[in-house]
Amino acid sequence: MNIRGYEPRDLEHLVEVGVRTADVGGDATGMLDDDRLWAEIYLLPYLDRHPDLAFVAENGAGREVGYIIGTDDTDAFDAWFARTWWPSRRAAYSGSANPRQRELVASADARRAGSAFANAYPAHLHIDLLPETQGKGMGRMLIARLADALAARGVRGLHAVASADNAGAVAFYPRLGFVELDADPGARAFGLDLTH
């Protein structure tokens, strides 16, 4: 197992990992009219804005099997996403009759600065590992790598939000020292103090 910084050659492999874990940790291939929408919302904007906060997990054969991405300022990221990233991409995914795709487009449309967690936990993350690699310590290593990078920038806290149905994520974050935060219905949120 190896954790390393993101390189542009990783992009399509990470898109695949993201799709294969987008359905509450399971494979979302074929759930949408265009599977790439998952990446347009939950992966590609982070790689574009913060490639230095993207880390890749490789298996023993050097294959990309997971990643962690994040931002050091959630409010600034969300404002940029709404103003710069999403408007030029929205038309390619809107107008679908697919209920899940419509829901994702609506969630991207609603994204604005003003995170409820931004004061104490200004940074946030997304982490994805292929199911066959989970439970082997890679998630812990990815979180540690991102937390170290954020702490080196003076960021005081990091948060993550998961679907309440994602049992793996709900169990994962507290094991790593995250505390549970108040979240919207249907979601679970967790925060990690980076000042210690």
**Does residue 162 sit in helix, strand or coil?**
strand
Please compute the mean of the pLDDT values over residues 62-76 and round it to a whole number. 95
Going from N- to C-terminal start, the domains of the chain cover 2-193
Give 92-120 pLDDT, tens digit per residue.
Answer: 999 999 999 999 999 999 998 788 888 89
Give ∠ CA 193-181-110 in degrees, rounded to 5. Answer: 110
Task: Please write the tens of the pLDDT for every residue from 133-167.
Answer: 888 889 999 999 999 999 999 999 999 999 888 88
The pLDDT of residue 7 is 97
Residue 114: burial class (beta carbons within 10 Å; 0-12, 13-18, 19+): exposed
Token reading at 190 = 């967790």
Superfamily the domain 2-193 falls into: Gcn5-related N-acetyltransferase (GNAT) (3.40.630.30)
Q: Which residue has the higher pLDDT, 186 or 76?
A: 76
Whole-Å CA distances, 65 to 24, 38, 55: 17, 17, 11
Q: What does pTM read for this prediction?
A: 0.94
